[in-house]
Amino acid sequence: MTIRLAILPLLLALNFSMCQKHPSPTTSSEPVSSPPASAGETAGGSPGPGVAGAAPSPKIAKAVVDQTAQTLIFCYHRLVDKIRYPGTEITPADFEAQMKQLKDAGITVISMQDLLAWRRGEKNIPPRCAVISFDDGWKSQYEVGWPIMKKFGYPFTMFIYTEGVRGGSLGGGEAITWEQLADMRDNGVDIEAHTATHQDLREGHNIMLAAAGGKRTRTKLTGPAYEQWVHNEVVGSKELLEQRLGIKVNCFAVPFGNYNEHVKELARNAGYEAMFTVYGQPITFTSPLDSLGRYAIEANKPKVFVDAVKMIGTSSGGAAAVAEVGAADLSTQPADGSTVRTALPLIKANLGRVGGIEPGSVQMRVSGLGAVPVSYDPKTGTVSYQVTQKLRGNSCTVIVSAKSEGKKVEAHWTFGIDAAAAAAPVSAAARATPTPKK
Ligand SMILES: [Zn+2]
């Protein structure tokens, strides 16, 4: 075994039929943390104006993005006229019909990179979006799927496991070729990683390894042998894609969704920004980037698609659209997540970055107090309120809303109140009393 270690990566093979069967796409996890978080604990000062609870506000140079947007990520495998493996195949006609349904439902298909840029707070996306991905690298994705996507003008992502490209140890006649991938790359298709051999990435789990003579053997790797193997799966596959295609890979789809914290850490360290699982769910501004769920759409599960579209259709519909603005973008005081040592803080936010604020529309609500009489300075965009009635409890949530060019914008944030310092005159019983009901 030891002798074999050095050439392990070359020997790795994957049971192809297993891949054909896998019930859902891949998963991934992500390394990048979300942008909305603001400062941590900060002790506030006295209740005096301008001092109370003043917490350092993060400097922001980003666009203010709509944090209420949602995105569905779909994953497809082979496109074939005659379904033989309903778990990983769909007919071109069904696929095209689904692409049209997205359009008809008012769901905008965006690129994976736009989704990530939105998560970084760099770019806005429409309120209801979808990202389309193709897994495993089948030639039907190039020959059949791509032309359909072109017809709609939709961007998409290819998740490739490198040994499954034509010529690799797992790349047979139905596999996509490196030349086809290069053609897609040249035409703006996003190409991302899906390991080397498409297997369970957790230590000690059954995998197939290619042995001498092209035979495959089932085995379980642990310790250094496992580490070497998983490194090639997570990091080696990324490097190979980047080198062969001259691209930057920042997304990792985990085969079968089988990973754990160790694998996530490897992926994070390798520079992956997002990791994807197979547990489909609408992606929001706060979805953890190391486990973004994708919906695997197969011939035997048409309802998955219908339900996903319904999910995003209802969850963001309804009342008039409100654009959620990150508290960090408003340089709030006290800062989101900070703690003050007074029950009478000065509460401030700067709406200057939002732009187009209608002065009469600015409102502030404070938990435990309700709507409060704010002062708003149109010149600086500062909205402020000096609390005059002691805040109760250990935390306080503030909601600032306003109209910006006819659209309602809203920001929420929460700060802590150091009970010992702030609540001395308030009895424990009073503190435990919930907000008075109206
Ligand atoms: Zn796959």
Please write the tens of the pLDDT for every residue from 255-269. Answer: 999 999 999 999 999
128 within 8 A of 316, measured Cβ to Cβ: yes
Instruction: Determine the pLDDT at residue 408.
Output: 74
Say which residues have a Cβ less than 8 Å from residue 244's Cβ, sequence separation at least 6.
178, 181
The residue-averaged pLDDT of 367-385 equals 88
Instruction: Work out the number of other CB atoms within 10 angstroms of the CB of residue 428.
Output: 9
**Cα separations in angstroms, 304 against 18, 279, 323:** 22, 11, 29
Residue 393's pLDDT is what? Answer: 80
Contact 389, 425 (CB under 8 A): no
Average pLDDT score over the chain: 82
Q: Which residue has the tokens 């009393």?
A: 433
CA 247 to ligand 1 center in whole angstroms: 20
Q: Is 380 helix (H, G, I), strand (E, B) or coil?
A: coil
Looking at per-residue pLDDT, the higher value among 53 and 290 belongs to 290
Instruction: Determine the distance separating the centroid of ligand 1 and the alpha carbon of 28, expressed in angstroms.
Output: 11
Res. 210: pLDDT tops 90: no
In this predicted structure, the answer to whether residue 212 has a pLDDT above a threshold of 80 is: no
Least confident range from 97-101, 278-282, 312-316: namely 312-316
Nearest-5° Cα angle at 35, 29 to 38 = 125
Q: Which two tokens stand for residue 20?
A: 């054909």
- Bigger pLDDT: 9 vs 331: 331
Q: What is the sign of the dihedral through the CA atoms of 195, 87, 182 and 130?
A: negative
Question: What pLDDT band is residue 355 in, cutting at 50, 70 and 90?
Answer: confident
The three-state secondary structure class of 228 is helix
Percent of the chain with pLDDT over 90: 56
Residue 401 CA to ligand 1 center (angstroms) comes to 44
Q: Quick one: pLDDT at residue 32?
A: 38
**Listed range (77-81, 256-260, 319-323, 425-429) with the worst mean pLDDT:** 425-429
| Residue whose structure tokens are 């998963």 | 27
The pLDDT of residue 42: 36
Percent of the chain with pLDDT over 70: 79
From first CA to last CA, the distance across the chain in angstroms is 72
* pLDDT score for 58: 47
Whether 56 has a pLDDT exceeding 60, the answer reads no
Residue range 273-288: mean pLDDT, rounded: 94
pLDDT for 218 beyond 60 = yes
pLDDT digits (tens, 9 = 90+) for 143-175: 999 999 999 999 999 999 999 999 999 999 999
Q: What is the pLDDT of residue 409?
A: 79
Q: 49, 148, 39, 46: which is closest to 90 by C-alpha?
A: 148
- If you average pLDDT over residues 34-57, what whole number do you get? 39
Provide the residues around ligand 1 (an ion) whose CB is within 5 A. Answer: 26, 135-136
Tell how far the Cα of 86 is from the centroid of ligand 1, in angstroms.
15
| pTM metric for this prediction | 0.62
Convert the pLDDT of each residue in 337-352 to its tens digit.
899 999 999 999 999 8
> Which residue do the tokens 């770019």 mark?
123
Of the candidate ranges 91-95, 148-152, 207-211, the one whose mean pLDDT is the lowest: 207-211
312 has pLDDT over 60: yes
Give yes or no for residue 357 having a pLDDT over 90. Answer: no
Cite the beta strand spans of 124-258 per DSSP E: 128-135, 157-160, 190-193, 206-210, 216-220, 251-255
CA of 261 to the centre of ligand 1 (A): 20
Determine the pLDDT at residue 3: 42
Asked if pLDDT for residue 123 goes beyond 70, the answer is yes
Cα(294) to centroid(ligand 1), Å: 12
Q: Is pLDDT at 437 greater than 70 in this prediction?
A: no
- Residue 64 confidence (pLDDT): 77
pLDDT-based confidence at 6, cuts 50/70/90? very low
CA of 151 to the centre of ligand 1 (A): 25
* pLDDT tier, 391 (very low <50, low <70, confident <90, very high otherwise): confident
Residue 254 C-alpha to ligand 1 middle, in angstroms?
8
What torsion, rounded to 10 degrees, do the Cα atoms 239, 243, 249, 254 define?
-40
Query: What spacing in Å lies between the alpha carbon of 302 and ligand 1's midpoint?
Result: 19
Q: How far is the CA of 129 from the centre of ligand 1 (A)?
A: 23
Q: How far is the CA of 256 from the centre of ligand 1 (A)?
A: 7
**Cα(139)–Cα(155) distance, integer angstroms:** 18
pLDDT at 347: 95
**Torsion sign (Cα): 414, 420, 424, 428:** positive
